[in-house]
Amino acid sequence: MIALFTDFGLHGPYTGQMKAVLHQMAPGIPIIDLFADAPVGNSRASAYLLAAYAGWFPVRTVFLCVVDPGVGGTRPSIFLEADGRWYVGPGNGLFELIQRRAQETRSWDIDWKPKHLSASFHGRDLFAPVAAMLARDDPPPGQPRHDDADRRADWPDDLCEIVYIDHYGNAMTGLRAAMLPPGARLTAAGRVLDRARTFSDLPPGVAFWYENSNGLAEIAVNQGRADRDLGLAIGGPVEIVA
């Protein structure tokens, strides 16, 4: 299958145009909408989201990933294989956590050239065709990478920030819950939050953090909205209190 991970949002033509290319070049291969609302232009926050969610997909899945504020600039266009899954997109750190946590990884610079390459829409003109080629099991259309321009060694293994606000107002962090000390509390927007197992373990209106279904530490308010009730936003800092 091909999984889409973008910051395009749910409105406008962008996702539809990429899907049209995929259907033409890889007919019959399922296309999954994973994220259409990844943090806009924020490859760092998106990198922690992608790493948390990609592991739930089977090997040979192709992730078509477009969070690309530097489109048309000097950032490389790359694809990589990590633990049997493919990732296609900009070399701007978006795949840093995928590469760092994988047991086996290889990366390539895209050297395939389309007849027409828009300066502002590589998702449609470059990344979608390459994703389709990989989904068809074509030979990798690139050359092995020989530099680290796509890597971000200074990014932490776990990010003490809000990286995503979901439809319900819950705030995902870039922290893996399994990496936190037993009994750890989190501080966000001046509030100290205890850990709970799930929403219904606490009275309505109580704020807490829990391990979400994909292993991230997530901040929530039972029957409320953490973003509104606590004043949380993407990029907001989170502290660990032992």
Query: Do the domains at 2-144 and 159-241 have one common CATH topology?
Result: no
CA distance 62 to 80: 10
Q: Taking the domains of the chain in order of start, what are their residue ranges?
A: 2-144, 159-241
Sign, CA torsion 174/196/179/60: negative
Burial class (CB in 10 A: 0-12, 13-18, 19+), 178: exposed
Averaged in consecutive runs of 10 residues, what is the pLDDT profile of the chain (242 residues)?
A: 96 96 98 97 98 96 98 97 98 98 97 96 98 97 95 98 98 98 95 97 97 97 98 98 85
127 touches 64 (CB < 8 A): yes
Let me know the angle formed at the C-alpha of 182 by 47 and 205, rounded to the nearest 5 degrees: 75
233: tokens are: 């936003």
Report the pLDDT value the prediction gives residue 15, as an integer from 0 to 100.
97
- Cβ neighbours of residue 74 under 8 Å, at least 6 residues apart? none
CATH of 2-144, one of 3.40.50.10790, 3.30.910.20, 3.40.50.2300, 3.40.462.20: 3.40.50.10790
Mean pLDDT of the chain: 97
Give the three-state DSSP class for 203: coil
Helix H or strand E segment including 159:
strand 159-165
Report the pLDDT value the prediction gives residue 10, as an integer from 0 to 100.
87
Burial class (CB in 10 A: 0-12, 13-18, 19+), 64: buried
CATH of 159-241, one of 2.40.30.90, 1.20.140.10, 1.10.645.10, 3.90.110.10: 2.40.30.90
- Cβ neighbours of residue 59 under 8 Å, at least 6 residues apart? 83, 84, 85
Report the pLDDT value the prediction gives residue 98, as an integer from 0 to 100.
98
Return the amino acid letter for 68. D
